[in-house]
Structure 1
Amino acid sequence: MTDVRKAKIPRKKKVRVGRGESSGLGKTSGRGHKGAGQRAGISQRRYFEGGQMPNIRRLPKFGFNNAQFKTKWEIINVSVLNDLFNDGDTVDEAALRKLNVVNRRCDGVKILGNGSLEKKLTVKADKFTKSAQEKIEKAGGSVEVNGETEEKK
């Protein structure tokens, strides 16, 4: 323990500005002559280009984003319906919300045909894929789109 010394960690040496011209950072201390850049405590705002017309104002505006008005569908597969509902049940948005399948704000429910369905269900939703509609009808159930019964003739 008598010969333990402090570890030498390589650190950059602090630069002392304004200590004579021969130091390389004397007189103006690397800040240049006059103007806001030389003054203490003041900095230019973002995109400030020295008073000339900034690039952000020279270029035209373009584009439009309509994403906030996009229709948000809650997507549910027939395999989920098979797991959660019993034979002969009616599946609608209220029943799905009760089981926390649909829990966020959405504009409607869309049923997809992923998985299998062995139970006879009456499914009421806003949209169906062809495969989902076929699987529901094949299991003996019926499909209703926005209150209108849609069956193949």
Structure 2
Amino acid sequence: MHANELAPPRGATRNRKRLARGNSAGGGTYAGKGLKGQKSRSGSKIRLGFEGGQMPLIRRMSTLRGFNNKWRVAYQPVNTGTLQERCEDGAEVTPESLLAIGVLRHLREPVKILAHGELSRALNVHAHKVSAAARARIEGAGGTVTLIGDTAGEAEAETPTEE
């Protein structure tokens, strides 16, 4: 078998029907376009989204301005006042323990501790993020703060430079 002997199987191809070349040619009169109207005229192509002069759907919808960061991480906020109400003195505060006492609804999003409300109990807090004011309140009450998860963005390791 050679390249010049290749051919499609019998019945696989059809000749294109030449329309609008007379009734005897088989595609005359309306040439498959139906009766009158804008779409039957020659050169007719209605642009995408055109609705006949009516205000198009794309222009009827409101416009949303600004930028939406698709990599934004949504944190579940937990206030120090909530920790004061719900946790015992000296308790280990983790996302799992917060879920168990009903502060969190799920563990799908990371937890951030915020400094809203007073804190007088010494707690050992393990969270993904902690605000500076919340860290000061927790450590001021005699507790500790431990960051969990990926904290690479928090503090970059210093690389030694050659002199």
Q: What residue is the counterpart of 1:142 in the other structure?
A: 144
Q: TM-score, normalised to structure 1's length? A: 0.53
Q: TM-score, normalised to structure 2's length? A: 0.50
Runs of at least 5 residues in structure 2 that lack an aligned partner in the other structure? 1-35, 39-48, 59-64, 151-163
**Cα distance in 2 between the residues matched to 1:147 and 1:91:** 15
1:69-108 C-alpha deviation (Å, 9 max, x unpaired): 4311000110000000000100010001111211145431
Q: Secondary structure at the match of 2:135?
A: helix
**Cα distance in 1 between the residues matched to 2:71 and 2:149:** 24
Does the 8 A contact of 1:117 with 1:136 survive in 2? yes
**Cα distance in 2 between the residues matched to 1:147 and 1:106:** 13
Say which of 29, 48, 52 aligns to 1:49.
52
Q: Secondary structure at the match of 2:139?
A: helix
Q: What residue is the counterpart of 1:11 in the other structure?
A: none
**Cα distance in 2 between the residues matched to 1:68 and 1:127:** 20
**Sequence identity, in percent?**
32
Does the 8 A contact of 1:124 with 1:147 survive in 2? no
Q: What residue is the counterpart of 1:82 in the other structure?
A: 84
Does the 8 A contact of 2:122 with 2:142 survive in 1? yes
Q: What residue is the counterpart of 1:30 in the other structure?
A: none
**Cα distance in 2 between the residues matched to 1:117 and 1:64:** 38
**Cα distance in 1 between the residues matched to 2:113 and 2:129:** 6
Runs of at least 5 residues in structure 1 that lack an aligned partner in the other structure? 1-33, 37-45, 57-62, 149-153
Distance 1:147-1:87 versus aligned 2 partners, 3 A rule: farther
Could you tell me how far 1:114 is from its partner in structure 2?
Answer: 1.1
* Structure 1 residue ranges (4+ consecutive) displaced by more than 6 angstroms after TM superposition: none
